[in-house]
Structure 1
């Protein structure tokens, strides 16, 4: 099956599938006031509905699905969701993005269910600063969870660090931490959202200076894989770990877009910063609707814009990054 392709000839091998927008952390750049339950919000997709999403995208050429939230492990049926998607033969990799609070206890179980890669959010190596950023005193739990992922044999363990002004003071510590650990440390530029404009103005830091610094220190840019995310990956002969740099404000960032998103309530989002989303849930109620579901997904791609328009300060429908999986 040929991959989904938009009018700009970008191919989409990668689906970010949100399964909840609930999160138990209160990160300053995402949910500073904590999760606010919307009583009018539809229920989250069931295991069967999620399995039909995975099947439809898999038959349209998707090879990688990342389970996101909110915090995806807040779902009590998370292992069942992994197992259901793992049954789809065309999906070659199932990944998750997590705040890491359950990893120490569950990493080996999720690995057995079919999870193949883990991204852990970790914005500081200082326990006190971690508490300030996340609102949770769980630094040791997250660090234990990262070790548990390595022990469970995950072939890919990535650490997501939102690039903010305080991070430059900790760069040496982060680099020392990955020198003898097979982790991919990913610095992600802070992105502006509808509710985070003031925070963005205070804390945003361009990744360009960091890229120059890495190159000066002997880090080398690696070749990008077809189903990889948007990170520029750097390797160094003296380091077991790698560095990833995600710069959404780079002028060519959207040229290599290869991902689509489905929200936890069943809407297809062509861009993290797009508008209201395209309804899929009405076509997720039975196997007999699969052909119609695939046709709607394919036809929707003509609406995908060439860029996200962040440079113009347009943040679209993303009030916070937790809403459609960041």
Structure 2
């Protein structure tokens, strides 16, 4: 096995977020309010199945144990089930996750499970169908809810729900969300709205801190869980009276980056050391065949030594990321 991925600040990296497309069929106000707009008019050239195999093999050889398949909307790929199977076949990868808007789950989540998917996150920004439509631009609330039920039927012990906190839109729904997870094994993760290059005005209008939710949880007997090595950035709280859990992702907290354990590869084969702030390192020229594996690993490890100590969001910097779909959120 190659040397464990570690940066110059002694942070170790066990978790790869692998984007397989930047196309999405939703029009969420905080990400793609005008819908997906290709960067150029040529047909996008996303990573092939063979390239996905090679890049995940390289990360697995360096100690990565968890891969999250992201987008855009990853299930828009016709070969999405094959992608899951390819990632799950890598020795050392123990968690294969995806983040989806849920619109194809009811029909396909059983086959994803059989292909090797172990964890699933679904974006649900409101439990009010009208507000769901207002935020996502799509009238698919009931289809997504059916998909979540199908995930439990398929054998997932827990489903994670991602909810982007939006002041004056869904920020008043905490009681409804808490009621929803009381008898369901759902980890509901509230994510603070993050400022990207294309949404300055929306950020200033709708950003709200997760601190008030955390204070409410602690005051009402919720307790903080201990993290595993390959867990994501959420602070997860549990309560003896609830089957579900609450996660808070608060990237504007000062020490958010201290526990960073994840790297990103975009759908076009660039390594991103952070969701914010840099252009990406080209990997695709080393994904053509298996003979370049050692060079690929060397490039990843060398690039990691340039990773900054923080994303500096708490200092008001937004970086170069145009929207969250562009490199997999």
TM-score range, shorter chain: over 0.9
TM-score by length of 1: 0.98
1:276 to 275, 279, 304: 279
**Residue number in structure 2 paired with 1:36:** 37
Deviation at 1:169, TM superposition (A): 1.4
Counterparts of 1:216-295 in structure 2 under 5 Å? 216-295=219-298
Deviations 1:144-198 (A, max 9, x none): 0011111111133100000111333110000000000001000000000000111
SS at structure 1 position matched to 2:68 = strand
User: Do the aligned residues in 2 keep the contact of 1:116 with 1:156 (CA within 8 Å)?
Assistant: no
The reply to whether residue 321 of structure 1 matches residue 324 of structure 2 is yes
How many angstroms apart in 2 are the aligned matches of 1:168 and 1:314? Answer: 24
How many angstroms apart in 1 are the aligned matches of 2:60 and 2:121? Answer: 22
Deviations 1:209-229 (A, max 9, x none): 111110001100011111100
Where does structure 1 differ by over 3 angstroms across 4 or more consecutive aligned residues? none
Deviation at 1:38, TM superposition (A): 2.2
Coordinate RMSD, CA, aligned:
1.0
The reply to whether residue 48 of structure 1 matches residue 50 of structure 2 is yes
How many angstroms apart in 1 are the aligned matches of 2:260 and 2:82? Answer: 30
TM-score by length of 2: 0.97
User: Do the aligned residues in 1 keep the contact of 2:157 with 2:185 (CA within 8 Å)?
Assistant: no
Deviations 1:86-130 (A, max 9, x none): 111111111000000000000100000011110000000000110
Closer, same or farther in 2 for the Cα pair 1:59/1:156, shift >3 Å?
A: farther
Counterparts of 1:167-206 in structure 2 under 5 Å? 167-206=170-209
**Residue number in structure 1 paired with 2:64:** 62
Count of aligned pairs: 326
Q: Which runs of 5+ in 2 are unaligned?
A: none
**Residue number in structure 1 paired with 2:306:** 303
Counterparts of 1:129-148 in structure 2 under 5 Å? 129-148=131-150
How many angstroms apart in 2 are the aligned matches of 1:274 and 1:136? Answer: 30
How many angstroms apart in 1 are the aligned matches of 2:100 and 2:4? Answer: 27
**Residue number in structure 2 paired with 1:156:** 158
